[in-house]
């Protein structure tokens, strides 16, 4: 993309915009989010919380209203050391909780690691690596004193290929993202840190996500955009990964900035009360995105449990909650059981993660400065002490980071150029191979695009401890091999580049990139989202120039999603193409591992590479389309994003066929697929969940005398800090000192919002993740995969299913495994198909239903290399039980035989032992 040209176009577009201000659509014609009340209270018997709920309940029963409010309300932006800090409960020895970004490493600290992006990690299709990455990040967070890590990300899922934050998440496929979310949640929790899945839901583009931010970029809107999503699409696509992460026991979920069906994400009772807490049985707490709360009572009743950073807008010193929540409980607009439920959810998540009051680690960093000494209360400039202890938490995570980055790298094309074997002469070309002249952390929140792309921009960033550039690693390898090595770390040195790559024996590796990030930063003309799908800094011209001269040109792409390769990918002079995503600190080492064959590539693209931007069928809502009111983004494509869209249209329009399809990637060896078997398992019928909940528990009585809640004399007031105490006992209207909560409950509360009586259970609900019978494995599919080459390799076998019926995707991913297969050997691929995998969401019944349409399964190496095919036979009974094989005699003498050699029931009981 040429920056100048894009600015000129943007200016033209802006003129056009002013001339034709769009009409405002009447409110009753807009997409509508139905109310759902009351807010579901915790189910103390639900799987995963049954033990810690009781402990939390005992404690909450003893807590005062201000103590409970303190758990729910942040102390204000930069009020303490973390990106978000709750109030404390000194009586219980509970310091304020520390919430910190982010999804690819700890934000704002030092001596931490920078991991490959979620997107590149998804490209490994390796559950174990995904889990290990999250666990390692969790331990780094723990080592810094963080209690809640603001990761992983499934929203955006990647509806729009130019979406700014797609790299923070995993893949536009909900199954792959769901697996990655669940593994990440378990990994983070395994390290003793609460994971926070974000952003629920529909935050698919950065532009217009927050009206204020959009105004700063010159967009004249007064409300944030609305993502208008229908019920089927919500269930089958956007909610799907959240169901997985809830089932995996995640402790927290962050609601999103923008509106869904014209109700703000953090006030939306349909999203929070109905979908998350009732249907998906979420027993953790919902925390707002930073400043995504726009009022107090309605967000509490709609299901929000924690507000961040706690002030109404950054540093206003006012809060929608804090004292206002205390007052709202006292005057009955928020029922006491709702506040109790918020506190119960937070404490249960803590206890479930071994974070009791005496187990919280010391916070040893400050987000707001890397200076050693400084103020604990940064914005108030108070409490000076050592605030950065510069604790190294990196351990040996560099090895894992390098492994993930190499194993996620996707080999898109290889005409025999790779792996490199001591090439005679290596010419490395492009800015993206070298360092940022300002240093790896030279741009705040990585808000620039200079040097190699190791980390994109926004809140999902971390400070590099170092950054191995491709130039550094490849030169080191060249020196070892006796290879002549020259690099030109610029995209604009045309004649020097031509003179270099035209020389005989040149293997040219061109490094190019395309970057994006979060909406509060614009880099060139990319306001978070990418302005287009082309490479940055003249990358396309660079590739074309080099490959027009050098017959052995290898292209490496670092990017936050697909780029257009249409103009050059099939040039015979381009002998290999690799996608290396956003790789983190070990970038150069990882790409060298793949280029030189130390890692045999098995990354598979987690998104489709279309021929044009239009071919994706979804695009950014670029201009306000509803006057100054909330821009309306109708998700009219339904579930047809990414490969589902390409599969649907490419039969009619072959020109729109992807260049590289979802799931595609090459290896240095070859594989064969054979012997598909589909086994029907013996499982019971689906039973809708029935019955009623218990009533909302009343845990304690409390005084309604305002005087009991006035700011205590012995508490020191810190400037701009948010407290739970009232300023006066004289008048309820003024008691909170800021916003007016004088209305009477029945004047504005939604019907049913304060009703604590038993509520009917939803048929699709029942346990965390939904009706537990949805996870019954109806079929087990197996196939044999053989490595037919002469080097060891890894293959990602993929299972696709067509659910059948009109207006349904041609096929959807429903299983995968990354298999390690030595040369010449075979392994068995196995995947279960659960009831949920085979169901569609029935919008009338409000439940998952297996339709009568024939269901085909394929096992293959990508969404279009479907090598084995079969049909699911629901009528078939389960396989007859095989007669049990005799236990083979252990080869070792009996007394030395390890215990595991005996099936459990046959382990001989030792006399005298219990
Ligand atoms: C806003 C971002 O949307 C969110 O992802 C992040 O966790 C918070 N800011 C805190 O930095």
3-class state of residue 464 by DSSP: coil
Q: How far apart are the first and last CA of the chain?
A: 73
Taking the CA of residue 198 as reference, the ligand 1 atom at the shortest distance is 5
CA of 518 to the centre of ligand 1 (A): 9
More confident residue, 13 or 314: 314
Q: Which of 14-18, 185-189, 286-290, 858-862 has the least mean pLDDT?
A: 14-18
Ligand 1 and 290: CB distance under 6 A: yes
CA distance 202 to 35: 18
pLDDT at 493 over 60: yes
Ligand 1 and 198: CB distance under 6 A: yes
- Residue nearest to ligand 1 atom 10, measured at CA: 290
CA of 854 to the centre of ligand 1 (A): 44
CA of 258 to the centre of ligand 1 (A): 13
CA of 254 to the centre of ligand 1 (A): 9
The confidence band for 746, taking pLDDT boundaries of 50, 70 and 90, is low
What DSSP assignment string belongs to 716-751? Answer: PP-TT---S-BS-SS-TTTTTSSS---S-HHHHPPT
pLDDT at 358: 86
Taking the CA of residue 199 as reference, the ligand 1 atom at the shortest distance is 5
529 in catalytic set = no
Structure tokens at 263: 């109700």
pLDDT at 520: 98
pLDDT at 384: 98
Gyration radius (Cα) of the chain, Å: 28
- Residue nearest to ligand 1 atom 11, measured at CA: 459
pLDDT at 737: 63
CA distance 653 to 617: 13
Taking the CA of residue 257 as reference, the ligand 1 atom at the shortest distance is 3
Residue 290: which of 278, 273, 308, 306 has the closest Cα? 308
Q: What angle do CA 891, 828, 406 make, to 5 degrees?
A: 105
pLDDT at 883: 52
Say if residues 366 and 387 touch (Cβ distance below 8 Å): yes
CA of 354 to the centre of ligand 1 (A): 25
pLDDT at 509: 99
The confidence band for 652, taking pLDDT boundaries of 50, 70 and 90, is confident
Residue range 280-288: mean pLDDT, rounded? 98
CA of 289 to the centre of ligand 1 (A): 6
Ligand 1 and 213: CB distance under 6 A: no
Taking the CA of residue 460 as reference, the ligand 1 atom at the shortest distance is 5
Q: Which CATH superfamily is domain 46-385+695-747 in?
A: Glycoside hydrolase, family 3, N-terminal domain (3.20.20.300)
* Mutation pick for ligand 1 pocket among 459, 460, 462, 518 (CB with most ligand atoms within 8 Å): 459
Structure tokens at 351: 């206890």
* Sign of the alpha-carbon dihedral angle for 208, 212, 215, 216: negative
234-276 per-position pLDDT tens digit:
999 999 999 999 999 999 999 999 999 999 999 999 999 999 9
Ranges assigned E (strand) in 430-531: 484-488, 506-514, 522-523, 526-527
Ligand 1 and 289: CB distance under 6 A: yes
CA of 346 to the centre of ligand 1 (A): 19
Ranges assigned E (strand) in 568-625: 574-579
Q: Residue 858: CB partners within 8 Å, gap ≥ 6?
A: 799, 800, 801, 811, 866, 867, 868, 869, 870
Q: Count how many residues are written for the chain.
A: 914
Q: Single out the catalytic residue among 43, 173, 289, 847.
A: 289
CA distance 763 to 722: 41
Say if residues 785 and 827 touch (Cβ distance below 8 Å): yes
Half-sphere exposure of 203 (CA within 13 A, CB side): 30
Structure tokens at 103: 């999804």
pLDDT at 32: 97
CA of 513 to the centre of ligand 1 (A): 25
Taking the CA of residue 256 as reference, the ligand 1 atom at the shortest distance is 3
Counting DSSP H helices and E strands in the chain, the numbers are 20, 29
Provide the CATH topology of domain 409-605. Answer: Rossmann fold (3.40.50)
- Residue nearest to ligand 1 atom 4, measured at CA: 289
pLDDT at 76: 98
Ligand 1 and 305: CB distance under 6 A: no
Ligand 1 and 83: CB distance under 6 A: yes
3-class state of residue 782 by DSSP: strand
More confident residue, 906 or 71: 71
* Mutation pick for ligand 1 pocket among 252, 290, 307, 447 (CB with most ligand atoms within 8 Å): 290
CA distances for 805 relative to 232, 381, 853, 856, angstroms? 14, 63, 6, 12
Please name the helix (run of DSSP H) or strand (run of DSSP E) that holds residue 672, with its range, or none. Answer: strand 671-680
Angle between helices 52-61 and 336-351 (to 10 degrees): 130
pLDDT at 628 over 80: yes
Q: 374: which strand partners?
A: 385
pLDDT at 523 over 90: yes
pLDDT at 169 over 70: yes
Taking the CA of residue 101 as reference, the ligand 1 atom at the shortest distance is 7
Label the pairing between strands 526-527 and 847-849. unpaired
CA of 124 to the centre of ligand 1 (A): 26
Residue limits of CATH 2.60.40.10 in the chain? 674-683+764-872
The confidence band for 458, taking pLDDT boundaries of 50, 70 and 90, is very high
CA of 102 to the centre of ligand 1 (A): 8
CA distances for 318 relative to 314, 322, 339, 718, angstroms? 9, 9, 20, 13
Q: Which residue is listed with tokens 């915009």? A: 17
Say if residues 706 and 729 touch (Cβ distance below 8 Å): yes
Ligand 1 and 101: CB distance under 6 A: yes
- The CATH classification number of 674-683+764-872 equals 2.60.40.10
Residue 756: which of 342, 341, 337, 344 has the closest Cα? 337
Residue limits of CATH 3.40.50.1700 in the chain? 409-605
Ligand 1 and 459: CB distance under 6 A: yes
Taking the CA of residue 458 as reference, the ligand 1 atom at the shortest distance is 2
* Mutation pick for ligand 1 pocket among 210, 254, 309 (CB with most ligand atoms within 8 Å): 254
CA of 169 to the centre of ligand 1 (A): 13
Say if residues 586 and 679 touch (Cβ distance below 8 Å): no
CA distance 561 to 119: 8
pLDDT at 31: 98
Residue range 527-541: mean pLDDT, rounded? 98
Residue range 703-724: mean pLDDT, rounded? 96
Using omega within 30 degrees of 0 as the cis cutoff, is the peptide bond preceding 309 cis?
yes
Q: Residue 611: CB partners within 8 Å, gap ≥ 6?
A: 564, 566, 655, 656, 657, 658, 659
3-class state of residue 522 by DSSP: strand
* Mutation pick for ligand 1 pocket among 101, 103, 199, 207 (CB with most ligand atoms within 8 Å): 101
Structure tokens at 514: 């395309």
Residue limits of CATH 3.20.20.300 in the chain? 46-385+695-747
- Residue nearest to ligand 1 atom 1, measured at CA: 290
- Residue nearest to ligand 1 atom 6, measured at CA: 459
* Mutation pick for ligand 1 pocket among 76, 81, 289, 311 (CB with most ligand atoms within 8 Å): 289
193-231 per-position pLDDT tens digit:
999 999 999 999 999 999 999 999 999 999 999 999 999
pLDDT at 898 over 50: no
Q: 373: which strand partners?
A: 386
Residue 235: which of 174, 156, 298 has the closest Cα? 174
CA distance 483 to 480: 8
- Residue nearest to ligand 1 atom 9, measured at CA: 290
pLDDT at 899: 37
pLDDT at 593 over 60: yes
- Residue nearest to ligand 1 atom 5, measured at CA: 459
pLDDT at 471: 99
- Tell me the average pLDDT of the chain: 93
């Amino acid at each position: 993309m040429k920056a100048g040209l894009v600015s000129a176009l943007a200016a033209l577009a802006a003129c056009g915009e002013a001339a034709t201000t769009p009409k405002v659509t009447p409110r009753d014609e807009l997409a509508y989010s139905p109310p759902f009340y009351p807010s579901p209270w915790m189910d103390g018997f639900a799987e995963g919380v049954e033990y810690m709920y009781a402990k939390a309940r005992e404690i909450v029963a003893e807590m005062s209203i201000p103590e409970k409010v303190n758990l729910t309300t942040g102390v204000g932006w930069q009020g303490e050391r973390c990106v978000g800090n709750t109030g404390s409960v000194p009586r219980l020895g509970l310091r304020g909780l520390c919430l910190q970004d982010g999804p690819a490493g700890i934000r704002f600290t030092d001596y931490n690691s920078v991991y490959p992006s979620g997107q590149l990690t998804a490209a490994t299709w390796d559950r174990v690596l995904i889990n290990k990455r999250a666990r390692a990040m969790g331990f780094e967070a723990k080592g810094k004193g963080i209690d809640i890590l603001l990761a992983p990300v499934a929203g955006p899922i990647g509806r729009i290929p130019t979406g700014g934050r797609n790299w923070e998440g995993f893949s536009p496929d909900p199954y792959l993202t769901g697996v990655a979310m669940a593994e990440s949640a378990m990994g983070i929790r395994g390290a003793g840190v609460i994971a926070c899945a974000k952003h629920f839901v529909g935050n698919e583009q950065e532009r217009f996500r927050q009206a204020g931010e959009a105004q700063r970029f010159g967009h004249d809107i007064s409300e944030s955009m609305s993502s208008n999503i229908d019920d089927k699409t919500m269930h089958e696509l956007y909610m799907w990964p959240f169901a997985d992460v809830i089932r995996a026991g995640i402790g927290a979920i962050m609601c999103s900035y923008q509106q869904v069906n014209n109700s703000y994400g953090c006030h939306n009772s349909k999203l929070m009360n109905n979908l998350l807490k009732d249907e998906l049985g979420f027993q953790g707490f919902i925390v707002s995105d930073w400043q995504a709360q726009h009022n107090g009572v309605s967000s509490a009743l709609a299901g929000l449990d924690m507000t961040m950073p706690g002030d109404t807008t950054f540093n206003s010193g006012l809060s929608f909650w804090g004292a206002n929540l205390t007052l709202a409980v006292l005057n009955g607009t928020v029922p006491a059981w709702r506040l109790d439920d918020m506190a119960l959810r937070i404490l249960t998540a803590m206890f479930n993660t071994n974070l009791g009051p005496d187990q919280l680690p010391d916070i040893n960093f400050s987000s707001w400065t890397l200076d050693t000494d400084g103020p604990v209360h940064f914005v108030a400039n108070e409490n000076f002490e050592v605030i950065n202890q510069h604790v190294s938490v990196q351990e040996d995570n560099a090895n894992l980071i390098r492994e993930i980055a190499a194993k996620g790298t996707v080999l898109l094309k290889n005409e025999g150029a790779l792996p490199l074997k001591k090439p005679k002469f290596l010419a490395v070309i492009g800015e993206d191979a070298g360092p940022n002249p300002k240093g790896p952390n030279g741009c705040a929140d990585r808000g620039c695009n200079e040097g190699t792309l190791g980390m994109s921009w926004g809140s999902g960033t971390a400070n590099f401890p170092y950054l191995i550039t491709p130039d550094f690693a490849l030169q080191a390898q060249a020196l070892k091999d006796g290879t002549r090595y020259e690099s030109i770390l610029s995209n604009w040195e045309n004649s020097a580049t031509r003179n270099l790559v035209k020389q005989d024996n040149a293997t040219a590796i061109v490094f190019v990139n395309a970057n994006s990030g979060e909406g509060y930063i614009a880099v060139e003309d990319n306001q978070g989202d990418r302005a287009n799908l082309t490479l940055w800094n003249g990358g396309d011209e660079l590739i074309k120039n080099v490959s027009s001269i050098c017959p052995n040109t290898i292209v490496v792409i670092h990017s936050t999603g697909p780029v257009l390769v249409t103009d050059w990918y099939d040039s015979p002079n381009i002998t290999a193409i690799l996608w290396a995503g956003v790789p983190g600190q070990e970038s150069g080492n990882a790409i060298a591992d793949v280029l030189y064959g130390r890692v045999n590539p098995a990354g598979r693209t987690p998104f489709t590479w279309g021929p044009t931007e239009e071919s994706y069928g979804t695009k950014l809502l670029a201009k306000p389309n509803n006057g100054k009111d909330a821009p309306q983004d109708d998700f009219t494509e339904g579930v047809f994003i990414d490969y589902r869209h390409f599969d649907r249209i490419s039969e009619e329009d072959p020109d729109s066929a992807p260049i590289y399809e979802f799931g595609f990637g090459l290896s240095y060896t070859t594989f064969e697929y054979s012997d598909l078997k589909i086994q029907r398992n013996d499982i019971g019928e689906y039973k809708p969940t029935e019955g009623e909940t218990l009533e909302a528990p009343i845990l304690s009585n409390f005084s309604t005398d305002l005087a009991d809640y006035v700011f205590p004399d012995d508490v020191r007031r810190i400037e701009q800090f948010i407290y739970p105490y009232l300023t006066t006992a004289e008048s309820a209207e003024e008691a909170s000192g800021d916003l007016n909560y004088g209305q009477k409950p029945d004047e504005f509360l939604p019907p049913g919002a304060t009703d604590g009586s038993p509520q009917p259970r939803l048929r699709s609900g029942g346990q965390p993740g939904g009706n537990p019978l949805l996870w019954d494995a109806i079929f087990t599919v197996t196939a044999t995969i053989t490595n037919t080459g002469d080097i060891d390799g890894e293959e990602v076998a993929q299972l696709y299913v067509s659910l059948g019926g009109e207006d349904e995707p041609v096929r959807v991913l429903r299983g995968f495994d990354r298999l390690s297969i030595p040369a010449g050997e075979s392994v068995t691929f196995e995947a279960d198909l659960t009831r949920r995998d085979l169901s569609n969401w029935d919008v009338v019944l409000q439940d998952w239903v297996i339709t009568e349409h024939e269901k085909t399964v394929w096992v293959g190496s990508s969404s279009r290399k479907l090598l084995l095919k079969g049909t699911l036979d629901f009528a078939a009974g389960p396989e007859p039980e095989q007669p049990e094989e005799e236990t083979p005699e252990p080869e070792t003498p009996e007394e030395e035989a390890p215990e595991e050699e005996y099936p459990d029931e046959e382990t001989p009981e030792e006399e005298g032992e219990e």
